[in-house]
Amino acid sequence: MKHLIGIKDLSENEILSILELGETYREKLINDRNNIPQILKDKVIANLFFEPSTRTRMSFEIASSLLGAKVINFSENVSSIQKGETRLDTLKTIEAMKVDAVVIRSSISGLPYILARDLKDVSIINAGDGSHEHPSQALLDALTLKLKFGNLNRIKLSIVGDILFSRVARSNIILMKKLGNNNIMVFGPSTLIPREIETFGVKIAKSFEEVIEFSDVIMLLRIQTERQNSAYVPSTREYKKFWGLTEDKLRSINKDIFIMHPGPVNREVEISSNIIYCDNSLILDQVTSGVAVRMSILTHILSSTLKF
Amino acid sequence: MKHLIGIKDLSENEILSILELGETYREKLINDRNNIPQILKDKVIANLFFEPSTRTRMSFEIASSLLGAKVINFSENVSSIQKGETRLDTLKTIEAMKVDAVVIRSSISGLPYILARDLKDVSIINAGDGSHEHPSQALLDALTLKLKFGNLNRIKLSIVGDILFSRVARSNIILMKKLGNNNIMVFGPSTLIPREIETFGVKIAKSFEEVIEFSDVIMLLRIQTERQNSAYVPSTREYKKFWGLTEDKLRSINKDIFIMHPGPVNREVEISSNIIYCDNSLILDQVTSGVAVRMSILTHILSSTLKF
Amino acid sequence: MKHLIGIKDLSENEILSILELGETYREKLINDRNNIPQILKDKVIANLFFEPSTRTRMSFEIASSLLGAKVINFSENVSSIQKGETRLDTLKTIEAMKVDAVVIRSSISGLPYILARDLKDVSIINAGDGSHEHPSQALLDALTLKLKFGNLNRIKLSIVGDILFSRVARSNIILMKKLGNNNIMVFGPSTLIPREIETFGVKIAKSFEEVIEFSDVIMLLRIQTERQNSAYVPSTREYKKFWGLTEDKLRSINKDIFIMHPGPVNREVEISSNIIYCDNSLILDQVTSGVAVRMSILTHILSSTLKF
């Protein structure tokens, strides 16, 4: 693996290998911190976030640091972007500084592909590109589910929200299909559900009741007002009523349903406040798996000593 | 010690223990840099500054780095706060990333208490909360005074400025009382002096002459225009005349009076420019003690090998 | 060497010594990363950039990290500068934190001199001060040229653009003169060429043809709209036509001419897009040399074990 651009590019074996090492790192992260191997101690990793982010940037930064890498942050507002340089020029410059990997988030769908094509030495790690992919998110979600359910190919997973523009939904669906999981259901405002998704074997729910009945796990998506044409999006009040998860909806049926959300949560929109951290919520578990899976990703991409 | 929220929560022994180790670290910081033990090399520390800060953030960052910790910075303008996440959600996320300690500054008095109550693993270190407490500042001031005077319980200390809203004044007064020092005097615009302070044994001066006559040390506070109702505050010109320290006032009496200020200094307001770095100024000494005392605080909170 | 303020202060031997170690570090940076000596592992370096910068800040940060130093970033918009502190107060505070070196960029010509004069312990490294000097840029340019041409004193170098206000031009010309190179030519809008430069033995070209005929290397300068009186500067379209380098101009003569640019490039202004990364472009080579030369500068200033 030289880059991580999208789940689309990964084989089933590569996915499973990332999850396996991620599980090992998760254990060390929680219980055996001083036995994390400093395998990236000669590596330089640059974080380039062209969109605001807390969790993804911090998660990558912690993952990098714990493996001993030198981390350089780059944020738009104190940079040469102000001076009119193109993204490619910026990346070529960073490559020429002998940076080993760039973790990049951008609103431009496909930017990481273009960069990976035009750069020759530096590894590109996509931390979310427009409405295209967010591969490390899908991998951390998979690790979270694997730890909870043991295997991934029979979990009944519903994804609720903006399926059309969500890179999280996209990457998760591709990953699940790659692992042979055919139990994926989506639900959301009809303007935000791509009809052709059914041709990939993904079910489209007609009501939240159908979602509840079907699911082992409900993955709520964040309303991404910053990336959407507001014409597609209902008011937050309407959104909560029809597509938000509430305690009432959750208890309408007598079974254990687990809740996921990539964060940050819009309280009282996608989910009501009182169930964000309930016993069946995997939301914080996802965050912990995030650091571990990113340690695994970085190791797969940057460590020459790791053998497969 | 799991958290450092306020001086109010510390016992006399805890205060003395922090100062003692701070003194050891100060010596290493200045003269024996390569013998600083890397006792936090497996720890991750996040700096969350929701108010602008140079010295406190840098001081904590240097203290953390010198003990070998991984430091992650988080600043409001490139964060999920923009996306409507609550402070508690942000902190729970950071905790789930297995960050060991969060150094937090916020304009919300009491926020660190709430966070420490609702979080279970991560340590909270208060770097200033509204007009409530600034414990590491009081501890660095105490270390500065200890190094100059030997012991702390007989120093005649005046604090001049906004006593009502100042977390620096508050934490310093609480600390001095805990160590049995009953020689504290305050002085400032009458709107900014809480009358009930006398019931705690703190003297209220009526004139700067009284302050000069009384004091071994004068601690000047910064006018915090960013945190105050402007109705309380006189013009800066008036301020300097009545409550600012000038060379004339200082030389009106034939004795050595030492000067402190938490910084950053408003030149020609709280103090005239020509005496900021005079021989009796402890202002830069406070800064050096700040790094040392924060190394001690981090060690007390995060190092399992430190025994008391 | 305690500080690096300007090329003006360096002897020929100091320049050659920095370049020699820079060459060694360049080799390690590219091919032998795990043999970079951690000679700055007990040092704290603060980056203070009061002007936007990507490459210089990142380059210094990578150089510092690779030698093992602790790096603290300070950027204007989250700092005490907002609170009215003077630059000198900020620096005195940073010095009191026992920071070993400050890398500083500022729009104020001469600020590093003033700081170096008024501070006693901390080393000042000038990363560009107004239209005065940018010494690390001139040193990285010299290393780039040395690696390409073997020696520096006979290269025919043209500098094209704003000679009057450019710190890059200034530092490069001073360096070349110190090494005995008398083959320097400048070219640019007549309002931006200081006439008295001829008295220092620098030729002034009258046309781009003259530049092309003369040069082994053409160093293009960036239009610094942020630092100039717009009255001096022509439109970008005019600029490209008369002072920009295009493929046509480059191929008008049958010889190898190398291209340099300090970056970030204004595409289609100083240079046309299709030749930025052509075979004769040294632009990315400059970036790589930049990290190496800054490692050498930091070693010369901060390492006590380095002997000359």
**What's the pLDDT score for residue A307?**
45
Distance CA C158, CA C245 (A): 12
Contacts of C245 (CB under 8 A, 6+ apart): C160, C218, C220, C259, C270, C271, C272, C275
Is the dihedral angle over the CA atoms B21, B22, B23, B26 positive or is it negative?
positive
* pLDDT band at residue C143 using 50, 70 and 90 as cut-offs: very high
Say which residue, C78 or C185, is predicted with more confidence. C185
**What's the pLDDT score for residue A235?**
83
DSSP A41-79: TT-EEEEEESS--SHHHHHHHHHHHHTT-EEEEEEGGGS
Three-state SS at C210: helix
Q: Neighbours of C (≥3 Cβ pairs closer than 8 A)?
A: A, B
Prediction pTM value: 0.95
Three-state SS at A259: strand
Chain B residue numbers with beta carbons less than 8 Å from the beta carbon of C89 are 263-265, 267, 276
pLDDT tens-place values along chain A, 308 residues long: 999 999 999 999 999 999 999 999 999 999 999 999 999 999 999 999 988 787 899 999 999 999 999 999 986 554 444 445 688 999 999 999 999 999 999 989 999 999 999 999 999 999 999 999 999 999 999 999 999 999 999 999 999 999 999 999 999 999 999 999 999 999 999 989 998 999 989 999 999 999 999 999 999 999 876 555 566 667 888 899 999 999 999 999 889 999 999 999 999 999 999 999 999 999 999 999 999 999 999 999 999 765 44
> How high does pLDDT run on average in chain C?
92
**Residue C88: is its pLDDT beyond 70?**
yes
pLDDT tens for residues C259-282? Answer: 999 999 999 999 999 999 999 999
**What's the pLDDT score for residue C76?**
57
**What's the pLDDT score for residue A153?**
92
Chain B residue numbers with beta carbons less than 8 Å from the beta carbon of C77 are 77
**What's the pLDDT score for residue C308?**
40
**Residue C82: is its pLDDT beyond 90?**
no
**What's the pLDDT score for residue A44?**
98
**Structure-token pair, residue A162:** 């903006």
The alpha carbon of A14 is separated from its chain's Cα centroid by a whole number of angstroms, namely 17
| Chain-chain contact of A93 with C263 (C-beta, under 8 angstroms) | yes
**What's the pLDDT score for residue B202?**
97
The alpha carbon of B307 is separated from its chain's Cα centroid by a whole number of angstroms, namely 25
| Chain-chain contact of A42 with C59 (C-beta, under 8 angstroms) | no
Burial of A161 (0-12, 13-18, 19+ CB in 10 A): buried
Q: Tokens 């190094």 appear where?
A: B147
Amino acid at A41: K
- Whether residue C31 lies within 8 A of chain A, CB to CB, comes out as no
Q: Tokens 């900014």 appear where?
A: B192
In three state form, how does the secondary structure of chain B look? Answer: CCCECCHHHCCHHHHHHHHHHHHHHHHHHHHCHHHCCCCCCCCEEEEEECCCCCHHHHHHHHHHHHCCCEEEEEEHHHCHHHHCCCHHHHHHHHHHCCCCEEEEEECCCCHHHHHHHHCCCCEEEEEEECCCECHHHHHHHHHHHHHHHCCCCCCCEEEECCCCCCHHHHHHHHHHHHCCCCCEEEECCHHHCCHHHHHHCCEECCCHHHHHHHCCEEEECCCCHHHCCHHHCCCHHHHHHHHCECHHHHCCCCCCCEEECCCCCCECCCECHHHCCCCCECHHHHHHHHHHHHHHHHHHHHCCCCCC
Nearest residue of chain C to residue A45 (CA atoms) = C62
Q: Which segments of C48-166 does DSSP mark as H helices, in order?
A: 55-66, 87-96, 111-118, 135-149
**Structure-token pair, residue C63:** 């150089």
**What's the pLDDT score for residue C305?**
66
- Whether residue C38 lies within 8 A of chain A, CB to CB, comes out as no
Taking the CA of residue B19 and the nearest CA in chain A, the distance in Å comes to 28
High-pLDDT (> 90) share of chain B, %: 81
Bridge partners for A102 per DSSP: A46, A124
pLDDT tens for residues B72-112? Answer: 998 655 444 444 568 899 999 999 999 999 999 999 999 99
**What's the pLDDT score for residue A78?**
42
Where residue A293 falls (left for φ over 0; alpha for ψ -120 to 50; beta otherwise) is: alpha
Taking the CA of residue C68 and the nearest CA in chain B, the distance in Å comes to 11
pLDDT tens for residues A124-153? Answer: 999 999 999 999 999 999 999 999 999 999
- Whether residue C79 lies within 8 A of chain A, CB to CB, comes out as no
Beta carbons of B108 and A71 less than 8 angstroms apart: no
| Chain-chain contact of B93 with A55 (C-beta, under 8 angstroms) | yes
**Residue C78: is its pLDDT beyond 50?**
no
Least confident of A175-179, B190-194, C69-73: B190-194
**What's the pLDDT score for residue C54?**
79
What's the rounded mean pLDDT across residues C220-244?
Answer: 78
Distance CA B10, CA B1 (A): 9
**Structure-token pair, residue A298:** 């970085």
Taking the CA of residue A88 and the nearest CA in chain B, the distance in Å comes to 22
| Chain-chain contact of A85 with C29 (C-beta, under 8 angstroms) | no
CB burial readout B200-229, b (16+ within 10 A) else e: eebbbbeebeebbbbbbbbbbbbbbeeebe
**What's the pLDDT score for residue B225?**
61
Q: Neighbours of B (≥3 Cβ pairs closer than 8 A)?
A: A, C
Taking the CA of residue B110 and the nearest CA in chain C, the distance in Å comes to 23
| Chain-chain contact of C36 with A44 (C-beta, under 8 angstroms) | no
**Residue B279: is its pLDDT beyond 50?**
yes
Distance CA B284, CA B12 (A): 26
Bridge partners for C45 per DSSP: C71, C101
| Chain-chain contact of B97 with A288 (C-beta, under 8 angstroms) | yes
Question: Quick one: DSSP state of residue A232?
Answer: G
Nearest residue of chain A to residue B99 (CA atoms) = A62
Whats the size of chain C, residue-wise? 308
Taking the CA of residue A236 and the nearest CA in chain B, the distance in Å comes to 13
Q: Tokens 């013998």 appear where?
A: B35
| Chain-chain contact of C264 with A77 (C-beta, under 8 angstroms) | no
Distance CA B235, CA C137 (A): 46
Q: Neighbours of A (≥3 Cβ pairs closer than 8 A)?
A: B, C
Question: Quick one: DSSP state of residue C104?
Answer: E
Question: Quick one: DSSP state of residue A252?
Answer: T
High-pLDDT (> 70) share of chain B, %: 92
Is the dihedral angle over the CA atoms B14, B17, B22, B23 positive or is it negative?
positive
Per-window interface: C 248-267 vs A, CB < 8 A = 263-267
Taking the CA of residue B67 and the nearest CA in chain C, the distance in Å comes to 10
Distance CA C179, CA C121 (A): 31
Distance CA C184, CA C202 (A): 5
- Whether residue A96 lies within 8 A of chain C, CB to CB, comes out as yes
**What's the pLDDT score for residue A305?**
66
* pLDDT band at residue B29 using 50, 70 and 90 as cut-offs: very high
Three-state SS at C131: coil
DSSP E strands in A147-271: the ranges are 157-160, 184-187, 203-204, 217-220, 258-260
* pLDDT band at residue C233 using 50, 70 and 90 as cut-offs: low
High-pLDDT (> 90) share of chain C, %: 81
Chain B residue numbers with beta carbons less than 8 Å from the beta carbon of A266 are 83-84
Beta carbons of B87 and B111 less than 8 angstroms apart: yes
Number of CB pairs < 8 Å for A and B? 86
B189 — phi, psi (to 5°)?
-55, 135
Taking the CA of residue A75 and the nearest CA in chain C, the distance in Å comes to 9
Distance CA B35, CA B31 (A): 9
Residue from B214, B175, B206, B213 nearest B188 by CA: B206
Residue from A282, A12, A300, A6 nearest A147 by CA: A282
**What's the pLDDT score for residue C59?**
97
Burial of B237 (0-12, 13-18, 19+ CB in 10 A): exposed
Beta carbons of A110 and A130 less than 8 angstroms apart: yes
Q: What angle do CA A264, A267, A269 make, to 5 degrees?
A: 105
- Of the candidates A70, A93, A98, the beta carbon closest to that of C55 is on A93
The alpha carbon of B120 is separated from its chain's Cα centroid by a whole number of angstroms, namely 26
Beta carbons of B223 and B233 less than 8 angstroms apart: yes
Distance CA C3, CA C17 (A): 15
DSSP E strands in A133-289: the ranges are 157-160, 184-187, 203-204, 217-220, 258-260
Q: Which segments of chain C does DSSP mark as H helices, in order?
A: 12-31, 55-66, 87-96, 111-118, 135-149, 167-178, 208-214, 236-243, 247-250, 283-302
**What's the pLDDT score for residue A230?**
61
Bridge partners for C157 per DSSP: C184, C217
Whats the size of chain A, residue-wise? 308
Chain A residue numbers with beta carbons less than 8 Å from the beta carbon of C47 are none
Distance CA B93, CA A123 (A): 28
Amino acid at A138: A
- Of the candidates B33, B36, B264, the beta carbon closest to that of C83 is on B264
What's the rounded mean pLDDT across residues B275-302?
Answer: 98
High-pLDDT (> 70) share of chain C, %: 92
pLDDT tens for residues C172-191? Answer: 999 999 999 999 999 999 98
| Chain-chain contact of A85 with C263 (C-beta, under 8 angstroms) | yes
Taking the CA of residue B93 and the nearest CA in chain A, the distance in Å comes to 6
Chain A residue numbers with beta carbons less than 8 Å from the beta carbon of C30 are 98
